[in-house]
């Protein structure tokens, strides 16, 4: 191999985060190469549930709540543009979303959360309201007797994570971007005014580098003056056979896809980087789902899987630019679908400018070092 | 091209597909017997309406779904062909009463 492939920006990571940023950069006129590890990677973007979810996000960090809302507000245009450029629709729908409460305690907790967040977006409003059982019955038929009420968020929606990923990759290619498969980034080094990245598929050069490799960012961070504290958290998902429309909108633990399958899953486990499905958790997810929506009992489960969330210490994203290595950025979050609109249409333009906007300072990892004890 | 491998022995059994008699050899799945009988169109896709048939023959793809004795969405390749089964072609989605 002679010479190194070069670009304006190298994006390390070809999942939803990397692909959204890469497409966004290409839309700004940049030449972009995505370096993707390959199918040995954890592949969180292939195991996603597919919610575009606003309610409850950022209840302890209002900047995150506002950023999430901004992404949800961008999603309709984002989905339409992606479909227009590629012919591949991410299957986005925004009918609002429901959080079911199965006890008075949970109802009180969610009500308090909604109250706390009611003015998080000032005049734009928070957009979630409590519904009693009777109000819930008017919008969803067939709820189980244990559902005492819930919260309806009008900005919530859902999409197909797989079509979204495929669409982003196709859109990147259509705009002259390149996707390098099996190109795990081993080393990032200064190279003249920019950087060179050594991979299993050769060396790549660019003026800027974006780390968007999920848990893969952990190994790359120290050599670039970045601080990316992350922990893995397993989520398991069950999917049923296809059925005629049952659920008019997504909920925090159930959603029906365009194809008719019902996905269920709301588990949180600390099992390291394991992506194994386990029977006790699967059973618990199914029990919960049937408790909320008893008709599901009649549907067969056709697949289960697990994926590993990329969690920061406070659950909110980390966006940062390196102080020691100008032009190097990192992006980490566990909401690759929800935040895809913001990553492509709001974050990528900042990276193209070479500078994160001042409002992004709230997402710096410095927030984890603010306390002394 | 489909060709039956003769594994020998045993009496054939008969079931019906949309009322039409289909002969199966012992050990056949419903999908194998239908394929041997030249029946390839098993259902309509619930997404596009296009016809669907046997694809992977090993339980992975969920393309060969048929109704068996009144139960929809059975995988024809994973259900043994038995005498007297009533197998039907599927159209539309499974309706679950709520």
Q: pLDDT tens digits, residue range A117-126? A: 999 988 888 9
B39 pLDDT band, cuts 50/70/90, is: very high
CB A72 within 8 A of CB A338: yes
Span A222-257, pLDDT tens digits = 999 999 999 999 999 999 999 999 999 999 999 999
Given a cut of 60, whether residue A2 has pLDDT beyond it is no
Of the candidates B75, B74, B72, the one whose C-alpha atom is nearest the C-alpha of residue B95 is: B72
Given a cut of 60, whether residue A293 has pLDDT beyond it is yes
pLDDT in the model for residue A3: 65
CATH number at residue A267: 3.30.9.10
Across the A:B interface, residue pairs with CB atoms under 8 Å apart total 40
Sheet strands (E) in A110-243: 128-132, 149-153, 157-158, 178-180, 185-191, 194-199, 202-211, 231-240
Considering chain A, what percentage of its residues have pLDDT values greater than 70?
98
For residue A142, what are the domain limits?
97-154
B9-32 per-residue burial string, b: 16 or more CB within 10 A, e: under 16: eeeebebebeeeebebbeebbbbb
Q: Which of the listed residues A113, A130, A154 is the one where a domain comes to its end? A: A154
Given a cut of 50, whether residue A372 has pLDDT beyond it is no
Q: Are residues A182 and A218 part of one domain?
A: yes
A370 pLDDT band, cuts 50/70/90, is: confident
Span A333-347, pLDDT tens digits = 999 999 999 999 999
Intra-chain end-to-end CA distance of chain B, in Å: 44
- Say whether B96 and A242 touch across the interface (CB within 8 A): no
CATH number at residue A183: 3.50.50.60
Q: Are residues A124 and A273 part of one domain?
A: no
Q: In chain B, which residues have their Cβ closer than 8 Å to the Cβ of A141?
A: 98
Residue A76 is assigned to a structural domain of this protein: no
Residue A209 is assigned to a structural domain of this protein: yes
Q: Are residues A281 and A221 part of one domain?
A: no
Residue A74 is assigned to a structural domain of this protein: no
Q: Are residues A173 and A43 part of one domain?
A: yes
CB neighbour list of residue A76: distance below 8 Å, 6 or more residues apart? A92, A94
A139-160 per-residue burial string, b: 16 or more CB within 10 A, e: under 16: ebeebeeebbbbbbbbbbbbbb
Residue A70 is assigned to a structural domain of this protein: no
Q: Are residues A332 and A215 part of one domain?
A: yes
CB A273 within 8 A of CB A232: yes
* A131: closest CA of chain B, how far (Å): 21
Considering chain A, what percentage of its residues have pLDDT values greater than 90?
95
Does the CB of A109 have a partner CB in chain B at under 8 Å?
no
pLDDT in the model for residue B8: 77
Mean of the per-residue pLDDT values of chain A: 95
Q: In chain B, which residues have their Cβ closer than 8 Å to the Cβ of A293?
A: 98
Of the candidates A202, A98, A87, the one whose C-alpha atom is nearest the C-alpha of residue A141 is: A98
pLDDT in the model for residue A337: 98
Q: Are residues A321 and A207 part of one domain?
A: yes
B94 pLDDT band, cuts 50/70/90, is: confident
Does the CB of A326 have a partner CB in chain B at under 8 Å?
no
Span B44-83, pLDDT tens digits = 998 888 999 999 999 999 999 999 999 999 999 999 999 9
pLDDT in the model for residue A279: 96
Q: Are residues A282 and A332 part of one domain?
A: no
- Which candidate from B46, B97, B98 shows the least CB-CB separation from A242? B46
Q: Which of the listed residues A311, A331, A352 is the one where a domain comes to its end? A: A311
Q: Which of the listed residues A113, A131, A154 is the one where a domain comes to its end? A: A154
pTM value? 0.93
- Structural domain spans, chain B: 13-88
Does the CB of A137 have a partner CB in chain B at under 8 Å?
no
Domain tally for chain A?
Answer: 3
- Say whether B73 and A244 touch across the interface (CB within 8 A): no
Residue A88 is assigned to a structural domain of this protein: no
Q: What is the 3-state secondary structure (H, E, C) of chain B?
A: CCCCCCCCCCCCEEEEECCEEEEECCCCEHHHHHHHCCCCCCEECCCCCCEECCCCCCCCCCCCEEEECCEEEEEHHHCECCCCCEEECECCCECCCC
Interface-testing mutation among A142, A246, A293, with chain B (most B C-beta atoms within 10 A): A246
Mean of the per-residue pLDDT values of chain B: 93
The stretch A207-227 carries a mean pLDDT of 96
CB < 8 Å from A in window 47-86 of B: 47, 62, 65, 73
The stretch A205-219 carries a mean pLDDT of 97
Instruction: Say whether domain B13-88 belongs to CATH 3.10.20.440.
Output: yes
Span A46-65, pLDDT tens digits = 999 999 999 999 999 999 99
pLDDT in the model for residue A373: 46
Q: Are residues A236 and A224 part of one domain?
A: no
Distance between CA atoms of A79 and A20, rounded to whole angstroms? 12
- As a residue count, chain A comes to 373
- Which is higher by pLDDT, A170 or B94? A170
pLDDT in the model for residue A34: 98
- Say whether A241 and B97 touch across the interface (CB within 8 A): no
Q: In chain B, which residues have their Cβ closer than 8 Å to the Cβ of A260?
A: 46-47, 93-94
Q: Are residues A12 and A144 part of one domain?
A: no
Q: Are residues A256 and A192 part of one domain?
A: no
Residue A370 is assigned to a structural domain of this protein: no
Q: Are residues A236 and A223 part of one domain?
A: no
Q: Are residues A333 and A283 part of one domain?
A: no
pLDDT in the model for residue A1: 43
């Amino acid at each position: 191999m002679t010479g190194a492939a070069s670009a304006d920006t190298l994006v390390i990571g070809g999942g939803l985060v990397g692909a959204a940023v890469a497409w966004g950069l290409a839309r700004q006129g940049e030449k972009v190469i995505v370096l993707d590890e390959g199918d040995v990677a954890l592949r969180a973007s292939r195991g996603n549930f597919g919610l575009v979810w606003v309610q409850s996000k950022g209840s302890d960090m209002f900047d995150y709540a506002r950023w999430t809302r901004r992404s949800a507000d961008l999603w309709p245009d984002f989905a339409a543009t992606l479909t227009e450029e590629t012919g591949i629709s991410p299957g986005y729908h925004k009918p609002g979303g429901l959080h079911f409460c199965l006890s008075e305690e949970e109802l009180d907790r969610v009500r308090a959360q909604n109250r706390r967040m009611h003015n998080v977006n000032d005049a734009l409003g928070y957009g979630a309201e409590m519904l009693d059982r009777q109000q819930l019955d008017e919008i969803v038929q067939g709820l189980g007797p244990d559902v005492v009420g819930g919260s309806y968020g009008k900005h919530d929606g859902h999409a197909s994570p797989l079509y979204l990923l495929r669409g982003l990759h196709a859109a990147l290619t259509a705009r002259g971007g390149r996707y390098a498969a099996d190109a795990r980034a081993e080393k990032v080094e200064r190279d003249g005014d920019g950087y060179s990245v050594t991979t299993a598929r050769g060396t790549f050069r660019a003026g800027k580098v974006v780390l968007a490799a999920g848990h893969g960012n952990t190994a790359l961070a120290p050599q670039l003056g970045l601080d990316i504290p992350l922990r893995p958290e397993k989520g398991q998902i069950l999917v049923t056979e296809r059925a005629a429309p049952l659920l008019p909108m997504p909920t925090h633990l159930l959603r029906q896809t365009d194809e008719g399958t019902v996905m269920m899953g709301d588990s949180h486990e600390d099992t390291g980087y394991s992506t194994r499905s386990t029977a006790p958790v699967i059973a618990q997810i199914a029990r919960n789902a049937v408790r909320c929506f008893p008709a599901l009992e009649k549907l067969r489960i056709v697949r289960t899987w697990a994926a590993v969330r990329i969690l920061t210490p406070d659950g909110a994203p980390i966006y940062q630019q390196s102080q020691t290595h100008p032009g190097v950025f990192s992006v980490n979050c566990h909401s690759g679908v929800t935040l895809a609109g913001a990553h492509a249409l709001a974050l990528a333009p900042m990276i193209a400018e070479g500078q994160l906007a001042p409002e992004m300072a709230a997402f710096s990892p410095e927030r984890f070092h603010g306390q002394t004890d | 091209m489909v060709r039956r491998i003769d594994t020998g022995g045993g009496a054939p059994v008969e079931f019906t597909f949309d009322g039409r008699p289909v002969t199966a050899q012992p050990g056949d799945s419903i999908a194998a017997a239908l394929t041997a009988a030249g029946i390839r169109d098993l259902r309509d896709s619930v997404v596009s309406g296009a016809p669907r048939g046997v694809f992977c023959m090993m339980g992975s793809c969920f393309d060969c779904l048929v109704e068996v004795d009144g139960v929809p969405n059975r995988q024809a390749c994973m259900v043994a062909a038995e005498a007297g089964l009533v197998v039907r072609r599927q159209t539309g989605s499974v309706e679950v009463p709520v």
